[in-house]
Structure 1
Amino acid sequence: MAVASPAGRRCGPLRALTLTVIAVLVVTVAATPGQAAPKPTVAQLRKELAALQKESDTLIADYYNGRIAHEKAEKTEKAAKAKLAAAQQVFDHESTQLRSMAVALYTGGASNEAVMISRTEDPGHVLGRLALSRHLVDLQNARLSGFAQVRDGHEQARNEAAASAEELGRQVKDLDRRKAKAEKLIEKIRDKIDQLHQAPGVRRSDGTWVPQLPEGADHVTPRMRLVKMLIQERFAVPYGIGCYRAIQDGGEHPLGRACDFMLSRGGAMPTAAEVRRGDQIAAWAIKNAKRLGIMYIIYRQRIWHARTGVWRTMSDRGGATANHYDHPHISVY
């Protein structure tokens, strides 16, 4: 079963995109102080990101299609092995029967179901029995030959299926490597886009920020609005983002300085995939906390504060939402 390799079709575009992205990432490093190249704009980086994302999506589709084909080939190989084992069992049984018949016919004085030779019998009867026995042997031999053909056919099918499964396995591994490489490049470009944004407002000498007043229809501060926008663009957050609320609970929500990035609805525990999304959001917030004015993060009954730089376990407040198991909470200065 011949399978065209997606790797051969995609190698050129991905290589070109890779070289382009690497050039964008290192251009400011390669330039001398006197000949500093202009920094890429957000629009330029987004264009590069869109092109690379399109190529990555194609690679991911090819990867999963290859995995499906690989699984089918493995099932075909397994079925061929089972048929081969059955054919071999029948072949061995018929071979044993044929050998027993041959021994009985040619050693003399032996008997079996097909032949019983007696020295006192009429010679014509003996010859008739021998002819019948030879006919039965020929029939048995023909059956044996047919089983041998079936066995050989199954063995060939098994070998072809195994070769196909092996080839598809190599293609899937190659696609997996290329997909991982594309994803790393996408992350680098996203990091570059993030770094082009600086938190608005005044920063004090001790690293903290002067608080801002909320503004606009959403009643959040410009600093919180920037963090919300960057997280939404990077992580999608399909279950919504809740920021301002009027209830004075002593937190930053009424001040427009906090947002909850929901991973489920109705207080339900999030899926494993959504928990990973929450982990990624929290890790991103920690990585960019100093530059974007993030003060603290609460997630999965733990709190990380910019002053300490470590996670600390919180007391049980009861429920998935109260303990922040279904969303990361991010507050800015």
Structure 2
Amino acid sequence: MSRSSWIAAVLCALAILLAPLPASADPGDEGGSAELTEQLEAANRAYIDAQNALTASQMRQALLSAQQAELEPRYRELVRETETVTVAAYQYGGGLRDAATLLDSPTPGVFADRVSLLELVARRQSAKLRELAGVRDGLEATKATIDGEVARQQEQLRVMARQKEAVEAALAAALTRESQPILDPATTNSTSTPLVVPQPAPRRADGSWPPETCGMKDPTTKDGCLTPRTLHALQQVKLAGFGRFVSCWRSPPQPYEHPKGRACDFAADPKGFGGVASGPSKEYGTQLATWLVRNAQPLGVMYVIWYRQIWTPAAGWHTYESGRGDPSSDHTNHVHMSIY
């Protein structure tokens, strides 16, 4: 080997040794208690179920209101037509007056014409009255159904209020009395967040989320799996332009929804999970967290954790403290996404 070739080989080896380490497979211990995780999952699932039921009921009410708006003009029109037919029936004969009208017929032809006219008036009157009764019954049924939907909506709102209180209570109990970080709006909202609208995840016909198991290949790990909805959310995040390192599935007994294939951690720094994010890396994490919150409903996001703060559909942004103070458990180096 020539001297120049040897120097080139040494420089190449040094470059490999000095190169940044690849992104770690996961952010490490994320902290948090199993009890808090269970409380958040139960309350937020109940909240999202009630929210979906409320939305479905509101959609049904809108359709019923549209039907009612179509029926009411027809009902008023039928009332006028029925009144016209009734007047005609009175004019051309009714009851005993029919016989008198027929007996006064000057010729057999006039007699036959009057018989036909009376039959026509009677049929028209009967048909209009039946149609009027049918439309009236339809309006009454529609109104009763709308009243039922409103009652269901009020119940779902009560459920959502209870679950909101449950989430807030669980988060408040998780904070230590000695240290309660102040919520920082700068880490929960970014004006630079991409405006990319994700494709909604599939739902049932009634708007609810179907139950899913961890059956899809996790592209972020070698042997892991994800639920179809989590995989969909991961794909939509990448399509929105968030392409930095991400790790989803983890083997038990890891906390949160990772072992269930319902969670992903998105590194804030381009090099992967490391220390506390700052500058552009912190802004990247804030943009991602903001995007997930804005699109939580179509994607089925159950909660987002970022920079010592947690967002839930039931209670919005709240302070989140692991009590350990490291970047992983405080979520200051990655954004955590849990999917329903």
Give the TM-score band, short-chain normalised: 0.3 to 0.5
TM-score normalised by L of structure 2: 0.42
TM-score normalised by L of structure 1: 0.42
Asked which structure has the greater RCO (Cα within 8 Å, sep 6+), the reply is 2
Higher helix share: 1
